[in-house]
Amino acid sequence: MFKFRLDGANIYVKSGLLFLAIAVVAFVLTLFLRPAAESTRFLLIWLTFGSFLGGVTLYFIGRIIHIANRRDAA
């Protein structure tokens, strides 16, 4: 069974997952609240977009560092 643990993860993986969670929350807020003000909607869309791209980037950097460290230790 797969267990989700963050104790061995580096800061990039943790930050990436945090940004992805922020992106999901901002996306849900954009969809369900449907803000009437154009500036609020624009801000939520960019928050979603930026958090998603930043989260994916940081997550993959963290995974690459994790793999490199594991190969060095072997």
From CA 47, how far away is CA 33, in angstroms rounded?
15
The reported pLDDT for the residue numbered 48 is 95
CB 15 within 8 A of CB 64: no
For residue 73, pLDDT beyond 90: no
pLDDT digits (tens, 9 = 90+) for 23-60: 999 999 999 988 888 888 899 999 999 999 999 999 99
| 71 vs 16 pLDDT, higher one | 16
pTM: 0.81
CB 52 within 8 A of CB 23: yes
CB 12 within 8 A of CB 58: yes
CB 62 within 8 A of CB 12: yes
- Residues 54-69 have a mean pLDDT of 91
The reported pLDDT for the residue numbered 37 is 87
